[in-house]
Structure formats: C-alpha cells, structure tokens
Structure 1
Amino acid sequence: MPTYKIFTVDAFAAAPFGGNQAAVVAVPPEHPLSDETMQALAGEMNVSETAFVEPLEGGGFQAAERFGLRWFTPTVEVPLCGHATLAAAQVLRGELGNASGALRFATLSGELVVRAGADGRLEMTLPADPPAAAAAAAATDDVRALVAAATGRRHTDATEVAVSPALRYMVVHDPGLGAADVAALEPGITAPVVEAGRRLGVRAVIVTARGTDCDFVSRFFAPWCGIDEDPVTGSAHAVLAPFWAARLGRRSFAARQCSRRGGDLRVALADDGATVVVGGHARVMIRGTIDL
C-alpha cells in the first residue's frame, strides 16, 4: 500500500489562520494516482483546492525542476489555481528540500513558473486572461440576476460587467460600492442564480472595487466549482490585473481579497500584457502521510 506525503498550507498568508487553505499531495512517479482517486481525496480534504504534484524528471522532489501539477476542488478538477500552486512551491522548497531557482509546473493552463521573491514571498507567473466588457444595453436577465445576487444591488448602466475568455470568470464592478462595501457583502447565490450562471458559461463571479489602503479589493464566488467563496484566489488576479490596469493606468498593484480569512497579494502585469506575476507568502500548517 503506497504512502504519500500530504500537507495543508495557508497560501497568501504571512501568519497562521489567514489566506487560503490548500492541500498538497506529493505523488512519486512510481505510484501515480488515478483521476478518480485524486477527486475522492480532494473531497476527503474538503478545502477549496487540493494540489497533486509529481516530478517530471530525474532527481525526485528534491532535485527536479519540472513537475506535473493538477488541482481539484471537492467536486471538480479546475484548469488553473494560483493559491494551490503557491502552496505546492512552498512544500517543495520548505518541506521537500528543493533548492531550484525556478520551479516549473506543467498544468492544464500551460507551464507555470514560481520563483523566490523578496521578504520570503513566492512569485508565480500566470497567463493573463483579460476580461471582455459587455455593453450595459446587452445585459441579459441572467447577467442581471448574477449582479444582483453577488452585490445586493440592481444592475444599472454604470455597472461594469466583463467575462474572461479562458477562465470564464465574470468581473462585476459597481462604482457605488467601495472597499468596505465589498468586504461586507453577503451574496445570495440561490439555485436559480447558479442555473443562470451555467447558462452564461461562467465558472465564478468576482466583485471588485478600488481599495483604500491598497489599489483594489475583491471577493470571489464560485458555486459552479463547488466553492461558495474562495478566500484568496491567485487565478482571479490574472483577470483583475488587466481589468484594473485599464482603469488605473498602472501595471503593478497591491491587492487584497477581503474574504473572512483575507489575504494580500502583489500583482504585476507584464508590459506585453501576456502574463501576470502574483506574489505572496505561504505557511505550512499540517504535515502528514496518507496510505492509498
């Protein structure tokens, strides 16, 4: 019966009990896991994402530079997950002794690279996914339903709604909502609203606003992926960085995801707009093994 090392990590958190929890499972090449087992284990862990990391070259976890990486929520596999990527890098560096200058992960979203940054931060490069704005006049009943459910406010001509083409994240920006309002949101995403989102083909709704002590804030709601609210979402900032760059005239940001746990991120959009670097701290909280 193979034994696997398993960890829980608070990503985008400099101190315990903050940021976003992820589980990380180290999968040795000689003992691969089936898709069904990975999904069942993610359900057992019951955190927003469980990452499965496997060396793709000689040297094992300690010496390899290239790894396979997959992410599962408790109910589905997802194409991109920033916080669980950060968590996997923290486990490789801090727990499994990997000293590579750059960790390269082969994923469903292409190769992702994580490097050590300043002050103990990890910095990962994600593909940018600029959202395409929808004209207010083109708002459908389904769009209006999602806006009202996520923000508690009626969709108006001033409401900005945009959907990213790859990740299918819907960004909602209501100029009448400030940072404190976003932090206080209590969304009412009912079953009919979930069905409206399915008809629109969205995977999540992001509500965002200008920040007060940072450049912008956000909340991330994804019942379509089995997550009512994700505490801190690295992949969301692959969408939010180009969104806010167009409005603030900048490419580097201090961002905060203001969920109950909350987390702070440093975000930079490349000059060519193709990639986004997302940086933050991570803390390993639990270390263990599992027999499968």
Structure 2
Amino acid sequence: MPQYRIITVDAFTEVPFKGNPAAVVAVPSNSPLDETTMQKIAAEMNISETAFIMPLMVQGPEEFQQARVFSLRWFTPTCEVKLCGHATLAAAHALKHELGSEREKIYFETASGQLLVYFGMVNDYSMNLPVDPPAPMPVTDDVKYIVECMFDEYKPTMQVEISPSLRYMVVYDPARSSDDVARLKPKLTPELVAAGKRENIIAVMVTSKSSTHDFCCRFFGPWCGIDEDPVTGSAYTVLGPFWQKRLGKKKFEAHQCSKRSGELYVQTEVTDSNDVSIHGHAVTVVSGVINI
C-alpha cells in the first residue's frame, strides 16, 4: 500500500493549537496523486485546507531537500481553491523542518501563479502573494441579506467591497469595534449560501479597526466548505489594499479574531510585481504517513 508523508502544521502562531491548521502531503515526483485522490485526502483530514507539494525539476531520493521549485495545490474538504496563504506557510514550514530543505527560499507553482516564500531563522516565514484590491460592490437585495446575516442589520453607512480575482466580499461598519467583530455570530443559513452564489462570492470578511493592532477581521466561507477559517493568509491580499486606502500606510499588524486567533505582519507593496508580503510563524503538530 503506497504511503506518503503527511504533516499537520499550525500556521500564524508560535505555539500549538492556535493559528490555523493545515495538512501538508509530500508527493514524490515519481508518485503523483490524481485530483480525485487529493480531494479524498482533504475530506479525510477535514480541516480548512490540505496542501499537496511535489518537487519540480529535481528527481531522486533527495528531491525534497534539493529542489527550489515545487508544485503546490490546496483543497478544502469539499473543493480545490485558487489561493491559500496559511497552507502555503505550512508547506514551507514542512519543507524546512520536516523534509530537510536546504534552500533559503522556495518557489511554489500554483493556480495563482508563482509564489515565493523566504525561510526565517526560528520557524518564521515571509511569503509574497498576488495583491487583489477590492472595489465597491453594487448593493443588491442579496448583498443586503448577506450583510444582515453577518450583523443582524444593513446600514447605508457600511462599506461593502468585492475582490475581482478571489471573489472575497469585505464588509466594514465604521461604527463597529474589534470587540464587536469578535462577538459576531453570523447566521450561516442555506439562504445565505444561495444569496452568495447568486453574487458569485467565495467568502465574506468582516473587518474593523483595532485598538491593539492596525485592523482585525473574521473570515466566513461556507461557499467553499469552511464555515469560519481561523487565520486566512489570502484574506490579506484583499484587506492589505483595503486598509492601505483608509489608514494611509503600507505596513500593518493584523489580528484575525476567530476563536483560535492568529497574528500576521502584512506589508502591501504597490510595485510592478503587485505583491502583498505576509510574515508569520508556524509550528509542527503531527508528523506521520498516510496510506493510499
């Protein structure tokens, strides 16, 4: 029975059982997995994302140690996603600390293009993700209903935007504090899911200014099988430019105020490369094998 290394990593935290867990499956270049099997593994793991990494341009028994470019795909328990930040961080951590990578930086070939991750000194990493600036969203009846499911009400003073690539909806109520956002209990009903599908959204992010950080947020994605994601790296490719316009700065400390919570350092770089640089820590929780 074929076996593959599998590592569970908590990303955007320095201690276990915080941040966001991701499973990382090491796929040798001579034993690729088909999409159906990857989806079955992700469903079996039943956490927000499972990442599959395979060395490119290098083959042999030392390929995970020597390769500098890897294929990377991400699956939720129900579908493949276009971009996942915390599972990218987890994949880099698994390569460095569990699979023995000899590199100082790693390139991942993904559905969102090539991503670059730098290895830090002590379980910390910096990754460059493509920026996805949101724009104001037409306020339809469905949009009002989605906001009401988040806040129990819709007010014209609320700011609602949508990112063009990832289709993340941003909801910001200037009258709400970070404590208000942390206490939210959204109604994730079938009607909400139907309204979101009509608006072609993948997730809703509720955000606010913060007294302890530059801003905070929460991320709800029932459209991709995730009721609430604890810490979402890809969210900051949207929230970075969103808050850059409102705070007039390019570097942020952000807090995702889910139950598990997580800390991120976000730098929005408006350059020709249009990257968002995200810095965070990671820690291994489980390391073993999976039988296919």
SS in 2 for 1:287: strand
Aligned to 2:68: 65
When the two structures are aligned, how many residues end up with a matched partner?
Answer: 288
Contact 1:117 1:279 in 2 (8 A): no
Q: What amino acid is aligned across from residue 33 of structure 1 in structure 2?
A: L
Name the CA shift for 1:118/1:171 in 2 (closer, same or farther; >3 Å).
Answer: farther
Aligned to 2:275: 275
Shift of 1:98: 0.5
Shift of 1:95: 0.7
Aligned to 2:181: 182
Shift of 1:119: 5.4
Matching residue within 60, 71, 74 for 2:77: 74
Shift of 1:151: 2.1
Q: 155-164 or 273-282: which moved more?
A: 273-282
SS in 2 for 1:244: helix
Shift of 1:102: 1.2
Q: What amino acid is aligned across from residue 270 of structure 1 in structure 2?
A: E
Deviations 1:177-203 (A, max 9, x none): 100010111101210111000000000
Deviations 1:144-200 (A, max 9, x none): 011011122x22221000000000000000112100010111101210111000000
Shift of 1:121: 1.6
Shift of 1:5: 0.3
Matching residue within 96, 100, 105 for 2:99: 96
Shift of 1:234: 0.1
Distance in 2 between the 1:118 and 1:103 partners?
15
Structure 1 segments (4+ residues) deviating >6 Å: none
Shift of 1:99: 2.3
Contact 2:43 2:78 in 1 (8 A): yes
Aligned to 2:25: 25
Gaps of 5+ in 1: none
SS in 2 for 1:22: strand
Aligned to 2:219: 220
- For 1:247-262, list aligned pairs within 5 A: 247-262=246-261
Deviations 1:230-267 (A, max 9, x none): 00000000000000000000000000000000000000
The answer to whether structure 1 residue 147 and structure 2 residue 147 are counterparts is yes
SS in 2 for 1:112: strand
RMSD after superposition: 1.1
Deviations 1:249-292 (A, max 9, x none): 00000000000000000000113271100110001100100121
